[in-house]
Structure 1
Amino acid sequence: MMAATREMEDRAWRAGTGELHAGFQRVGAIRAQKGVYEDLATKDLDIHTYCAPSDEHPEIEGVTVHQEDSREIRESWFVVFDGGGNPNDACALLAEERGDADERSFYGFWTYDPTIVGRVLDHLNEQYAVPLN
């Protein structure tokens, strides 16, 4: 999943524009990827990250952090890029963590179908439009 995540982040980097959303579940995961998202924020991207609430979330210039106390955010790993105006670059990875938290098993899919990517983005924008940071 990490390779698919990096591929989608790379598409956003190469496009240099568009919307990128990434669900990290926990704030520690955002901290671990801070450098990646600082680099992405140098582009003309509208970047949104999501995690469960924490007083320790990192400030990343150019990145909107959504702290959400919802099962969907706590149990999902996702990366969604709208393609930056090119539907052929649209992509999404969606995975749900299941089972014992010590084993970290994820079930999901990734897609390059711009219609599905659009539906996922619509959901994120409708559910979490106002950032909590």
Structure 2
Amino acid sequence: MVLDAQFRTLASAVPSDRRLAVVRRDGGTPLDSMLRRLFADQPVSVSTDATAGTTTGDDDVAVLVEDGEVLATSPLAALERAILLVNSDLYKTGTLRLADADLPSVLTGLADVPFRLRGYPLAHKEKLLLIAMSRQIELRAARADAGELHASFQQLSRIDDEVGTRRTYEHLAATDVDVHVYGEPDWNPERPLDVTAHAGYGAGYSDSWFVVFDPPADAVGPHTTPVGLLALEAEPRVWEGIWTFRPDAVAELASVIRRKL
């Protein structure tokens, strides 16, 4: 219930209407349709707009627009590589390395937008948005090499069951980041992992998905921005999720996790 309240607080900071505008030199492609399907029934619309964000003459780009203002612009090729041409198995198997987890700014710019996303088999790609953002946060923590990372898995055994996840947390454990993992106590790792495990059942352990990077207060540099993702399983295989870069919101979420879990 504590994380439920935290989610409502994050979701109450709903931004003004945001939309993704696709600008292509040669018209639409099947990938444009994939992008529309990815955000179908979400509070972010996708449109084709020959003028949005093209003040520099750019084309073949995606533009994130809010109330007529351009927030971010990314090459469509980057968007395709990050999410449209991949699936969750590439993350789980380690085919996509942690170093490959950078996301284009039009995706990270969707901070503070609440999503309702279905997992497989209800949908094939919707939940990928949360998976990709989770790995992006883990990458930021690894690059910062400082601070705390809090991550939940529902079942702690997933850390070993998914090769990509195990490699990611081996990498993080070798840094100076203080790594804490949360989930049900079904994990008996064959190889030790230098992280702090918090095990339990019920609310916060079995039904939550969070990845929170809380850097040191005096941290400086391009990779030391606080960022947190929180998702709750509203019903089986259906997640309500949101991420934020607001320092106060990230600090509060990290504090709640430390105190209550």
Same fold? TM cut 0.5: yes
> What are the Cα deviations for residues 17-42 of structure 1, in whole angstroms up to 9, with x where unaligned?
11000000112322221221011111
Q: Match for residue 208 of structure 2? A: 76
Q: Following TM superposition, by how much is the alpha carbon of 1:74 offset from its aligned partner in structure 2, in angstroms? A: 0.5
1:24 aligns with 2:153: yes
Q: Are 1:12 and 1:84, in contact at CA under 8 Å, matched by a contact in 2?
A: no
Higher relative contact order (CA 8 A, sep 6+): 1
8 Å CA contact retained: 1:93, 1:110? yes
Secondary structure of 2:132's match? helix
2:180 is matched with which residue? 48
Identity of paired residues, percent? 36
Partner of 1:106: 239
Which of the numbers 138, 150, 161 marks the counterpart of 1:9?
138
User: Is residue 127 from structure 1 mapped to residue 254 from structure 2 by the alignment?
Assistant: no
Query: Gaps spanning 5+ residues in structure 1: where?
Result: 129-133
Indicate conservation of the 8 Å contact 1:96/1:106, yes or no. Answer: yes
**Higher strand residue share:** 1
3-state secondary structure, aligned to 1:48: strand
Contact 1:51 1:66 (C-alpha < 8 Å) held by counterparts: yes
Q: Which runs of 5 or more residues in structure 2 are unaligned?
A: 1-129
Larger radius of gyration: 2
Q: Is 1:96–1:108's contact at 8 Å kept on the other side of the alignment?
A: yes
- Please report how far the alpha carbon of residue 53 of structure 1 lies from its aligned counterpart in structure 2 after TM superposition: 2.0
Report the residue type matching 1:21 in the other structure: H
Counterpart CA distance in 2 for 1:30 and 1:76 is: 15
| Structure 1 residue matching 2:205: 3-state secondary structure | helix
Q: Which residue of 2 aligns with 1:131?
A: none
CA contact (8 A) 1:15 1:84 kept: no
Whether 1:57 aligns to 2:193 is no
Q: How many residues are aligned here? A: 124
Q: Distance in 1 between matches of 2:192 and 2:216?
A: 21
Partner letter of residue 66 of structure 1?
H
Contact 2:156–2:181 (CA<8 Å) still a contact in 1?
no
Deviation by residue 1:75-130 (Cα, 9 ceiling, x = unmatched): 01100001344386100000001223xxx1110200001101111111111123xx
CA RMSD of aligned residues (A): 1.7
TM-score (ref. length: structure 2)? 0.45
Counterpart residue number, 2:78: none
User: Does residue 132 of structure 2 align to residue 38 of structure 1?
Assistant: no
